[in-house]
A = this chain, B = another copy of it.
């Protein structure tokens, strides 16, 4: 048990990946972050662009991509190939030796194809279990894991998996061994009461306050699944969840920017 040692688990959203300058700055900041850390990246618009160039029609329902076999191939190429390896090589060059992986690698995330209810999401995975031993052994070798949002089931089927969910599940699994601080970074300054006003950041959000704001419809609908998952992570032993701008990584870590969530 090393539960007194800090571990930062940082998720960067797709919009950051799409902007080369912001991504480079973010990766420099991340490389300099002291101590143990894990990076989880989303996919951004590159997969959509590539699918378009290849004439593979893309269907999104409630912001979730319907993943047919051809789309899965595109996603695997873009997320696990292009984005993941570019991030790894850049972090290495910034002195942060990294190891790129998907949930399929070392079988460290076991997932299940989402069952068809009203919508058939195709090759989309729901996380069943995270095995932290691979990540722990990478730390022993002073390597920083960089995780692409793909998993596999026990039959060898690759599955497109939400990066927020992976960040959340990895954070919960690592909370047994570390003091985990989970950071969701994106292009906004934090949880806003007015999505059009970057100055309306809520600096700290308790669970009961969140419930009230949600009821009053003062939380942007797109943020609700992220926040619901974040509070669930806190219940499962994650120390803090922070939400904020990828450009402010250091301030997020220091607690001077963004929104810090606590359960009570």
Contact = CB atoms under 8 A, between A and B. Distances in A.
A242 to B, nearest CB: 27
Interface in A67-117: 73, 76-82, 84-86, 88-94, 97-102, 104-107
B99 A106 contact: yes
A79 B76 contact: no
Nearest to A81: B81
Interface stretch (A2-10, A132-140, A194-202): A132-140
Contacts of A90: 156
Contacts of A140: 137
Interface residues of A, number: 44
A155 interface: yes
Contacts of A54: 53-54
For the complex formed by this chain, how many copies does it contain in all? 2
A66 interface: no
Contact of A137 (B79, B84, B86, B141): B141
Contacts of A152: 88-89, 92-93
12 contacts: A53-B54, A76-B86, A80-B84, A85-B150, A85-B158, A88-B102, A91-B156, A92-B156, A93-B152, A93-B155, A100-B102, A134-B141
Interface of A: 50, 53-54, 73, 76-82, 84-86, 88-94, 97-102, 104-107, 133-134, 137, 140-141, 143, 150, 152, 154-158
